């Protein structure tokens, strides 16, 4: 027993005395507190994810016709984001937020919270890339051209001023964690405040950074988040003949406390129709009533349900 203890102690001493491995020490950027806070809020949600793909040929045709008619260039990310705003505006429960235990707040305006990668530099720290959010206010009432210009400007606007991260937000994320947690306690309990500070629907696009089949499943605090993945090839049958098509991989993350799986599937189907028909270019009112994609069934939306939607 004594020999075993002595051997264990000797090994422990040798482990402690080992020289530190070669490494470089850097300060942790304070603005990454933004990511930490988003992750912490996202882990509070019961998020379900729906991965699907969309054929790009109709989308590219729509963009080409729009460019030829208006000489206006619209990016694919803008087209997808605007289409999402149109789909949510048609079905507002998809960006509803709980207020207390018995109410669901449905906003009229769709505020898109779009992730934009920016370079940051803090003092002597080397330049680093950090994703920050730019909120496109009332995206359902803006044209695709307006949204495109807004997102392009957000890529170069100075941080800490009127760009994607305001001076107030920059100062907030430099605060100690204990103070930020107190503020988040009140934000998450007030849907109107959450909308003002965070938006109502999330959009993140990372597909341009890779190839093959890939899409991110994010940790998100939003009721609905669209993740835009990579563009790949897929063989489909056309008149019995295999044909190669370009497709884009997408993911919809939804708060399961508000949106169930079947309504999310119907919403995704409606979203794909809008992408193919070019709703993003003018967001027209549908000529026929869209299929119901309400997050609750009739029985679940009854007044006795713990979650009721006020008239």
Q: Report the DSSP pairing between strands 201-205 and 112-120.
A: parallel
Which residues, 6 or more positions from 70, have their beta carbon under 8 angstroms from its beta carbon? 145
User: CA torsion angle for 287, 74, 67, 279 (degrees, to 10)?
Assistant: -10
CA distance 260 to 109: 22
Assigned domain for 36 exists: no
Closest alpha carbon to 262 in 234, 229, 231, 297: 297
Around Cβ 45, how many Cβ atoms within 10 Å? 20
Query: What is the domain-level CATH number for residue 236?
Result: 3.30.559.10
- The residue segments making up the domain with residue 142 are 47-159+186-281
| Helix H or strand E encompassing 201 | strand 201-205
Assigned domain for 166 exists: no
Assigned domain for 10 exists: no
Closest alpha carbon to 193 in 205, 184, 202: 184
CA distances from 94 to 100, 200, 229 (A): 18, 10, 21
pLDDT at residue 122, as a whole number? 61
**Tokens linked to 225:** 């988040």
What's the pTM?
Answer: 0.83
CA distance 9 to 11: 5
CA distance 119 to 132: 10
Assigned domain for 120 exists: yes
**Tokens linked to 220:** 């998100």
- Give the chain's domain count: 1
Assigned domain for 299 exists: no
Chunked mean pLDDT (size 10), the chain, 311 residues: 77 83 81 90 95 94 93 93 96 94 93 88 63 91 94 85 78 91 94 94 84 86 95 85 91 96 96 95 53 44 34 29
pLDDT at residue 270, as a whole number? 96
Please return the burial class of 235, using the count of CB atoms within 10 Å of its CB with bins 0-12, 13-18 and 19+. Answer: exposed
pLDDT at residue 12, as a whole number? 87
């Amino acid at each position: 027993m004594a020999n075993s203890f002595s051997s264990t102690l000797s090994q422990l001493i040798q482990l402690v005395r080992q020289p530190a491995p070669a490494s470089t020490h850097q300060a942790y950027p304070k603005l990454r507190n933004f990511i930490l806070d988003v992750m912490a809020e996202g882990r509070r949600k019961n998020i379900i994810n729906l991965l699907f793909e969309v054929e790009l040929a109709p989308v590219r045709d729509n963009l080409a016709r729009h460019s030829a008619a208006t000489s206006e260039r619209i990016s694919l990310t803008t087209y997808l984001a605007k289409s999402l705003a149109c789909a949510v505006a048609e079905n507002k429960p998809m960006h509803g937020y709980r207020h207390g235990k018995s109410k669901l707040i449905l906003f009229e305006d769709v505020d898109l919270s779009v992730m934009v990668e920016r370079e940051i530099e803090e003092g002597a720290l080397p330049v680093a890339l950090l994703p920050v959010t730019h909120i496109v206010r009332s995206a359902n009432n803006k044209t695709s051209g307006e949204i495109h210009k807004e997102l392009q400007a957000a890529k170069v606007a100075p941080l800490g001023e009127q760009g994607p991260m305001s001076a107030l937000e920059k100062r907030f994320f430099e605060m100690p964690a204990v103070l930020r947690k107190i503020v988040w306690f009140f934000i998450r309990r007030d849907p109107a405040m959450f909308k003002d500070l965070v938006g109502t629907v999330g959009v993140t696009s990372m597909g341009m950074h890779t190839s093959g089949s890939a899409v991110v499943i994010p940790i998100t605090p939003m009721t609905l988040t669209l993740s835009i993945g990579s563009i790949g090839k897929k063989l489909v049958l056309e008149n019995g003949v295999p044909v190669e098509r370009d497709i884009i991989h997408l993911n919809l993350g939804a708060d399961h406390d508000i949106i169930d799986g079947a309504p999310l599937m119907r919403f995704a189907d409606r979203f794909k129709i809008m992408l193919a028909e070019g709703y993003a270019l003018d967001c027209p009112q549908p000529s026929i009533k869209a299929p119901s994609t309400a997050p609750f069934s009739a029985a679940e939306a009854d007044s006795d349900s713990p979650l009721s939607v006020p008239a």
